[in-house]
């Protein structure tokens, strides 16, 4: 999706990803929320793994509202913007305005 975005936004997103590149990596669920937990006879189970991938573990921690650094929160927001760009353009642009503003650049129109 990055090639379809305004250049300054794609650059800011790449920078946010680079800022967490050296953090612990592993399997990330990608959509952690209470709706993706079911109770089975064996106990709770996490479902809906279609957004899972190998990535910075902080992305799931941010989704759970656990303590995170500014860089980790920005990377999670960058991922959300990138994922929403084509299927939810209005949401992506809304998120991008704050993301770019916090990076000290002019907002995305």
Q: Is the pLDDT of residue 103 over 80?
A: no
Q: Which domains does the chain have, with CATH numbers?
A: 2-102 (3.90.1200.10)
Q: Cα(9)–Cα(61) distance, rounded to whole angstroms?
A: 24
Question: Per the structure block, which two tokens stand in for 10?
Answer: 């794609």
Supply the pLDDT for residue 4: 87
Complete DSSP assignment for 80-109: HHHHHTTT-HHHHHHHHHHHHHHTTSPPP-
pLDDT digits (tens, 9 = 90+) for 36-71: 999 999 999 999 999 999 999 999 999 999 999 999
Residue owning tokens 């379809």: 4
Is the pLDDT confidence value at 108 over 80?
A: no
Model confidence at 105, pLDDT cuts 50, 70, 90, reads: low
Cα-based torsion angle of the residue sequence 49, 46, 56, 17 in order, rounded to the nearest 10 degrees: 60
Crossing angle of helices 89-102 and 70-84, in 10° steps, is: 150
For the residues 59-85, what does the mean pLDDT come to? 94
The mean pLDDT value of the chain amounts to 91
Label residue 96 by pLDDT band (50, 70, 90): very high
Residues 59, 75: contact at Cβ < 8 Å?
yes
């Amino acid at each position: 999706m990055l090639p379809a975005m305004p250049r300054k936004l794609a650059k800011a997103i790449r920078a946010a990803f680079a800022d967490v590149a050296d953090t612990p990596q592993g399997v990330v669920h990608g959509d952690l929320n209470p709706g993706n937990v079911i109770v089975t006879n064996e106990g709770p189970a996490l479902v809906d793994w279609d957004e899972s991938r190998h990535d910075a573990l902080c992305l799931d921690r941010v989704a759970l509202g656990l303590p995170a650094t500014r860089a980790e929160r920005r990377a999670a927001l960058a991922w959300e913007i990138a994922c929403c760009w084509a299927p939810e353009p209005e949401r992506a642009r809304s998120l991008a305005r704050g993301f770019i503003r916090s990076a000290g650049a002019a907002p995305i129109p």
